[in-house]
């Protein structure tokens, strides 16, 4: 815990907002470790009263990790409110992708808000209103109706062709977190999957997902998109995801949760992790157009090393007489590290 405070202090001293908000990621990891040590692992418990509908409930918590948000995806909670976090945190990004209104970083919300109080969560403006008067309620009901009307209008345009004035076609691709998100992507008119985040495969487990488990997840998405292109991002594992990278790398952990041993650096350090995922991706590529996206690339040498690994895995699968695409899937990278810009 003392080391946590040192790290948190370092992050909070940064001028950049994104880096400052990584301090919440550090706290999430330490809290998760403490829960494991005292024998209380798992997700935040939900207290739901009798006769209360989930869609009328707003989750108020000190903190919610991305894993928490995903685990609540099957529920129909109206919104999330937390004491810590920020607009650039992974929890906020995930909440937006799931279309769940959320206001994070309210400091003492959990202590000040009481059960059964009426709340307005304005995720667009980052505003929480407790026990609003009737006039404010009417104003927000009208605003909600206007947003729903605008979405309805946009939905009617989902089959319309998108192109610039000079005739350049623009393809709309969706970002998804889970295989089950494909239906929503298609319903929104997506012409492909531009980013399939694969970290969900590590949720709530103490071992690495097998090649077959990964293949089933990727196959579901590729088949579901029915010939439309799918871009799979390799594991962006790290401390901020509240997953279990420590189960893969043993005691070889670094203390920098933002830019340390994570994402492609972790995958290259642990060949089994990368090769297993690439094998599953190659098998799925035999079922439809697929591309591979690498996170946190900082140097061309990393791209070269991954391509060599991809070629090696391809040859190995060919010897196993596994169904494969005729050529290797395209390989790309995310430009998100300063050194790669």
Q: What is the pLDDT of residue 256?
A: 41
Q: What is the pLDDT of residues 224-283, one digit of tens each?
A: 999 999 999 998 876 444 444 444 444 333 444 444 566 787 788 888 889 999 999 999
Long-range contacts of the stretch 305-311 (C-beta < 8 A, 24+): 305/268, 306/264, 306/267, 306/268, 306/274, 306/331, 307/331, 309/271, 309/274, 309/275, 309/278, 310/278, 310/282
Last residue of a domain, one of 134, 161, 186: 134
Residue 155 lies in a domain: no
Q: What is the CATH number of the domain that holds 194?
A: 3.20.20.60
Residue 16 lies in a domain: yes
The verdict on 89 and 21 lying in the same domain is yes
Query: DSSP labels for 105-156?
Result: --SSHHHH--TT--EEEETTTTEEEES--HHHHHHHHHHHHHHHHHHHHHHH
Residue 168 lies in a domain: no
Q: What is the pLDDT of residue 34?
A: 61
Enclosing domain of residue 261: 173-340
The verdict on 177 and 125 lying in the same domain is no
Residue 167 lies in a domain: no
The domain total for the chain is: 2
Q: How many CA atoms lie within 13 A of 33 on its CB side?
A: 13
Q: What is the pLDDT of residues 314-329, one digit of tens each?
A: 999 999 999 999 999 9
Residue 142 lies in a domain: no
Residue 152 lies in a domain: no
End-to-end CA distance of the chain: 35
Q: What is the CATH number of the domain that holds 105?
A: 3.50.30.10
The verdict on 57 and 204 lying in the same domain is no
Of all helices (H) and strands (E), which one includes residue 319? helix 300-319
257 burial type by CB count under 10 A (0-12 exposed, 13-18 middle, 19+ buried) = buried
Last residue of a domain, one of 108, 134, 160: 134
The verdict on 223 and 328 lying in the same domain is yes
Residue 287 lies in a domain: yes
């Amino acid at each position: 815990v003392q080391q946590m405070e040192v790290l948190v202090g370092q992050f909070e001293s940064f001028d950049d907002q994104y880096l400052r908000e990584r301090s919440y990621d550090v706290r999430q990891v330490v809290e998760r470790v403490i829960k494991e040590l005292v024998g209380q692992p798992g997700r935040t418990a939900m207290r739901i009263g009798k006769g209360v509908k989930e869609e009328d409930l707003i989750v108020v918590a000190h903190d919610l990790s991305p894993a928490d948000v995903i685990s609540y995806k099957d529920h129909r909670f109206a919104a999330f409110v937390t004491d810590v976090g920020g607009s650039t945190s992974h929890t906020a990004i995930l909440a937006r992708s799931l279309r769940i209104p959320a206001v994070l970083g309210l400091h003492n919300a959990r202590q000040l808000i009481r059960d059964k109080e009426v709340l307005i969560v304005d995720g667009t403006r980052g505003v929480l209103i407790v026990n609003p008067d009737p006039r404010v309620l009417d104003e927000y009901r009208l605003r909600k109706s206007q947003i729903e009307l605008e979405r309805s209008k946009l939905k009617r345009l989902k089959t319309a062709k998108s192109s610039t004035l000079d005739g350049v076609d623009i393809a709309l691709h969706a970002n998804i977190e889970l295989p089950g998100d494909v239906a929503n992507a298609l319903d929104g008119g997506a012409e492909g999957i531009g980013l399939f985040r694969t970290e969900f495969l590590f949720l709530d487990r103490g071992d690495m997902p097998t090649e077959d488990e990964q293949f089933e997840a990727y196959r579901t998405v590729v088949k579901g998109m029915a010939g439309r292109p799918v871009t799979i991002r390799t594991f962006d594992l790290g401390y901020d995801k509240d997953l279990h990278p420590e189960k893969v790398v043993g005691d070889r952990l670094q203390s920098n949760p933002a830019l340390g041993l994570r994402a492609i650096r972790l995958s290259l350090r642990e060949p089994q992790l990368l090769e297993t995922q690439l094998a599953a991706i190659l098998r799925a590529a035999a079922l439809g157009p697929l591309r591979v996206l690498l996170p946190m690339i900082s140097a061309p040498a990393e791209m070269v090393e991954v391509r060599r690994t991809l070629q090696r895995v391809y040859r190995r699968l060919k010897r196993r007489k596994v169904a494969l695409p005729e050529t290797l899937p395209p390989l790309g990278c995310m430009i998100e590290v300063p050194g790669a810009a």
